[in-house]
Amino acid sequence: MSRDLTSGVQTAIEATQVQPFLLFEGLFSSGYVRMWSGYGDIVWDARTWTGVGNLMGISAVQETSEIQANGITVTMNGIPSELISLALQESEQGKSGKVYLGFLDESGVIADPTMIFEGKLDIPAIQEEGETSTISVTYESRLINLQRSRESRFTNEEQQREYDGDLGCEFVPAMKEVTLTWGRS
C-alpha cells in the first residue's frame, strides 16, 4: 500500500544515513503514555515522548492486500516487580494505541512521522523474572470487529439500549398473540 510521505521524510529515506525510530502512544486509565525507541525526551506534535531505548520492543507491523485483522505487541522489559499491579490496573481492554515511524536528523524529528498501526488494547501479559518483569501489551486492529458476531433483536430492551426513550418496539411482545386477517374473510 502506498503512503503519502512528506517531502522531509522522502529526503530522509533517500539520504546516505537514515536514522529511523518508532513512537508508541497508548491510552491507559490515567491518560496517555508516549514512548519512543531512543534515549532522552523528544517533542513531536506538541507532545513529549519519553525515550526508553532497548527497554521497549514492538513486534512487526504487518500489512496485507487481504482484509484481515493484524495485531502488534508492545513489550516493556526491566519493569520493577512492585510496578506490576499498577500496570494491570492501568490496562483497560479496548483503549487505543498507535505506532508511528519517524526519522531523525541533526536538528531533530523530520516533519510528521507516519502512523503505521492503530488498534485497540487486547490483553496485557506479564512474565516475572526475579526482581524485574516483562509486560507485553497486545493491540488488535479494528478489523477484528468483523469477526465478532452482531446479534440484535426487535425487542423493547434492545431498542432502549440503542435509542433511550424510543417506544417503537414497546408493543412487540403483545404482537405474537395478535391474529390479523388480510383481505376478505
Confidence band, pLDDT 50/70/90 cuts, at residue 2? very low
Which residues, in sequence order, are CB contacts of 71 under 8 Å at separation 6+?
A: 119, 122, 138, 139, 140, 141, 144
Cα–Cα distance for residue pair 162/121, rounded to 1 Å: 25
65-76 residue pLDDT tens: 777 677 888 888
91-140 residue pLDDT tens: 888 888 998 888 887 777 877 788 888 888 887 888 887 777 888 888 88
